[in-house]
Amino acid sequence: MPTMRGLRGFRQTALFSALVFCFWKYSFAYLRYSVPEETSSGTIIGNIIKDLGLDVKNIEGRGFRVISGLKEQLLQVNHKTGVLFVNEIIDREILCDREKPCFLNVKIIVENPLEIHQAEIEITDINDNSPAFLDKNKSLEISESTPVGSRFTLEGAVDPDFGVNSLKSYQLSQNDHFILQVKEGSSKRNKIPVLVLQKMFDRELKAKNIFLLTAFDGGNPPRSGIMNITVMVADINDNAPVFTEEIYSVTLEENVPVGTLVIQINASDMDEGTNGEIYYSFEKSDQNIVEELFTLDAYTGEIRVKGVIDFEVKEFYEIEVKATDRGFIPMSSQCTALIKIKDMNDNAPVIEITSLTSYITEDVKSGTVVGLISITDLDSGVNSKIACTCSDNLPFELKQSFRENLFSLVTKSRLDRESAPQYNITITAKDFGTPSLSFYKTVVVNVLDVNDNNPRFLQNPYVFYVMENNTPGASILSVSAVDEDTNENALITYYLRENEAVDRSVVPFLSINSNNGQVFSFTTFNFEELKSFSFMVVAKDSGIPSLSSNVTVNVYILDENDNPPVVVFPFTQNGTAVVQETIPRNVKAGYLITRIRAYDADVGYNAWLSFSLEEATDSSLFSVGRHTGDVRTRRAITESDATVQKITILVKDSGSISFSASATVIVTAAENTEAHALSEVKRSTTEEGQDNNMTFYLIILLSSVSCLFIFTIIALIAFQCHRAHRKYLHKNYLGDVNYAELGSKLLSFSVALIGFCNSWKLNFI
């Protein structure tokens, strides 16, 4: 359960979080709990939901995680109830420094939505360790000449517990020779027992003396440990070595080479000879690693580096050094070497992706948080200060969070899946040490598609040419559109729509395959009835909401030679065009007898007619103009020629599979010269009248068409000027009107009409 101090800290942290919320998107709280060490697994520490003030009704679907940074998962959170409990038994003496209060700082991660909170769990000490001497049997050799007041420093007991449960006092068994004094070591927790001689020994009375030293801690009830002290009395070498300093202090850089001199210890002995010769050694201590890291020269007192010195493993070493003489009964004294390790920049930053969203939609807003990045550096001071950056030229950036070395990866501009469906973001963490060390980590963010692209036709507009007399139900054309989106957003359906401002509807006799854009016709086209038509195709995707676009399809019907020539005569006989002409017998060669008039409903080569003499009573007497249809005499008529001549004229078009028609001309040669002259005058008058009438009609027709064309162009230009200021709102409405194309069609129609009229005139002159 949270302590009162933890509850007060929670309230203060909650108030601070409310203020910080305006500056940081995620809520934050600082929780404090307390739990004794050795607490059994499953012991409840607190309730995250209750202590964070979360709404219990809306907690379903939210997850809870604890990140402690330790290899062992000492704490766990129940994902449903939010209960924070002990997962593994916690040993304070292993987890923390025994000389300081023990706090376990963890991150509480609340998901959906993401929240990060800081929790501090104090691991309180219990009196589960007794004071203990490393050497439970201590032997002292004391000369009988040792003066009263001599001090004998013993190795202190060690109690891993903290606070009141740590080592408090010593008690020496009742005796006449020693009194016990306790001095403070370099650390306040280090209590060193010192035996002070108050009565000199007499070896002749007792050569061996045994004492009992008991160490007590401050627990309730107290726990204790004992050391047996055996004092051997000698009567020589009555001076112990004396160090120049009781405490030696030095600063040593980490990672120095093996063999580097750390410090030189110096002691002297007032005795002479072997009793004054000194050798140095390490005292036994609770820091067994010292002998693995340092060597002591027994003769010079030099302490040198033996192993790898790592600031991150230990920042401070306290080494007890003993100087012993070589007397028959050696005497010794101790000093303390304090070695402070100086941190060097030998640890690169470590990037931890606390949370990452691997998939985001392309329409997310700028500033959307994609992930949280936590960076740690085992170094200290300026060597642990971190600068964090991410890849340039990407729509992402890192923002510093309210906590040091905690960053948010956010979007800084709009994403476009069609341009970049995936981003490989390299995050670089670089410390400020000298030389600087850095660490790289790449995260992958995939961009999901949204329906933000309209279907796009491959052509705009489409122009197709279809032969007349097509087969009903067959495909006549195909349109296609593409969509840059994916999946359903790119699935296109096609529809037909009537074009605007058309004279006749064409959509009812057309059908489109909605899947592939193939257009079918239910009717047969006849060029002579329909020259062209247009309609619109709409392409619509399957996104939500769906997007669409349309395209104009212009279809031009191509002519086939499906109409035979038609000969125009005033009368026919038995369905055959027949004309009778009377000419004088004395006409010369090249005399125009008649002109065959014919037309073809087709156009182009299919309507290009040619005339030939198919059959004649006397083929040597007459000729036919191939392109004019003029029937003329090839020579003068003789007396031997028949009076009535029958000529059959074949009229044929120029189609690939040509059609033809025939006309019969019956020519009578008259003997009466006056009648012949009258016939010539009549023919001339008739032809001149026909030419004059035809010319008059053509002038009227051409004038009308020209006026209609000019009026149409002027009206269209005026209409477009009137609509110019609304063009951006009516692109679809006005965009389909191609005035240049429409004018071109009118002009083509006019020229075609003029050509038709000229042809008609030519055939009827």
Q: Do 322 and 280 meet the contact criterion of CB atoms below 8 Å apart?
A: yes
Q: What is the DSSP string of 326-343?
A: -SSS--EEEEEEEEEEEP
- In angstroms, the CA 39 to CA 746 distance is 99
Identify the band that residue 674 occupies on the pLDDT scale cut at 50, 70 and 90: very low
Q: pLDDT at residue 23 above 80?
A: no
- The four Cα atoms 611, 612, 613, 614 give a dihedral, to 10 degrees, of -110
pLDDT bin (cut points 50, 70, 90) of residue 273 is confident
Confidence of residue 673 (pLDDT cuts 50, 70, 90): low
Contact (Cβ atoms closer than 8 angstroms) between residue 156 and residue 190: yes
**For range 559-574, the mean pLDDT:** 75
Residue 257 pLDDT > 90, yes or no? yes
| Distance separating alpha carbons of residues 148 and 629, to the nearest angstrom | 163
Q: Which residue type is seen at 754?
A: I
> What per-residue string of b and e applies to 173-201 under the rule 16 or more CB within 10 Å gives b?
eebebbebeeeeeeeebbbbbbbebeeeb
- CA dihedral (690, 691, 695, 696) in degrees, to 10, reads -40
The reported pLDDT for the residue numbered 24 is 39
Of the segments 56-65, 75-84, 150-159, which one has the largest average pLDDT value?
Answer: 150-159
What distance in Å separates the CA atoms of residue 88 and residue 67, rounded to the nearest whole number?
Answer: 15
Among the listed residues 302, 325, 320, the one whose alpha carbon sits nearest the alpha carbon of residue 241:
325
Tell me the C-alpha distance between 329 and 311, whole Å.
41
pLDDT of residue 259: 92
Which secondary structure element, helix H or strand E, spans residue 291, and what is its range?
helix 290-293
pLDDT at 694 over 70: no
Number of C-alpha atoms within 13 angstroms, CB side, residue 665?
32
* Average pLDDT of the segment spanning 399-421: 87
pLDDT tens digits for range 378-391: 888 888 888 888 98
Most confident of 202-206, 344-348, 446-450, 578-582: 446-450
**Structure-block tokens of residue 215:** 């160490």
Q: Which of 288-297, 300-309, 521-530, 620-629 has the lowest mean pLDDT?
A: 288-297
Please check whether residue 526 is in contact with residue 554, taking contact to mean a CB–CB distance below 8 angstroms: no
Give the other-Cβ count within 10 Å of 563's Cβ: 19
First to last CA, the chain: 121
Of the listed ranges 56-60, 169-173, 698-702, the one predicted with least confidence: 698-702
pLDDT, tens digit (0-9, with 9 covering 90-100), for 708-740: 778 777 877 776 665 554 443 333 333 334 433
Cα dihedral 35→36→42→43 (10° resolution): -60
The percent of residues in the chain predicted with pLDDT above 70, rounded, is 81
- Mention every residue, 6+ apart, whose C-beta is less than 8 A from residue 398: 373, 388, 389, 390, 407, 408, 409, 410, 427
What string of DSSP letters covers 33-63? EEEETTPPTT-EEEEHHHHHT--GGG-TT--
Give me the percent of the chain exceeding a pLDDT of 90. 25
Tell me the CB-side half-sphere exposure of residue 96, using CA atoms within 13 A: 19
Band of residue 218 on the pLDDT scale cut at 50, 70, 90? confident
Is the pLDDT at 231 greater than 60? The verdict is: yes
DSSP code, position 458? S
Name the β-bridge partners of 440.
428
The H helix count followed by the E strand count for the chain is 7, 50
Decide if pLDDT at 678 tops 80: no
The answer to whether 84 and 77 are in contact (CB under 8 A) is yes
Residue 186, pLDDT score: 65
* Band (423; pLDDT cuts 50, 70, 90): very high
As a three-state string, the secondary structure of 677-705 is HHHHHHHHHHHHHHHHHHHHHHHHHHHHH
User: Parallel, antiparallel, or unpaired for β 294-296 and 660-670?
Assistant: unpaired
How far is Cα 154 from Cα 196, in angstroms, rounded to an integer? Answer: 11
More confident residue, 51 or 685: 51
CA-based angle 78:79:85, to the nearest 5? 15
User: What integer pLDDT is reported at residue 66 of this predicted model?
Assistant: 80
The per-residue pLDDT for 284 is 76
pLDDT of residue 617: 87
Query: What CA–CA distance (Å, rounded) separates 124 from 93?
Result: 10
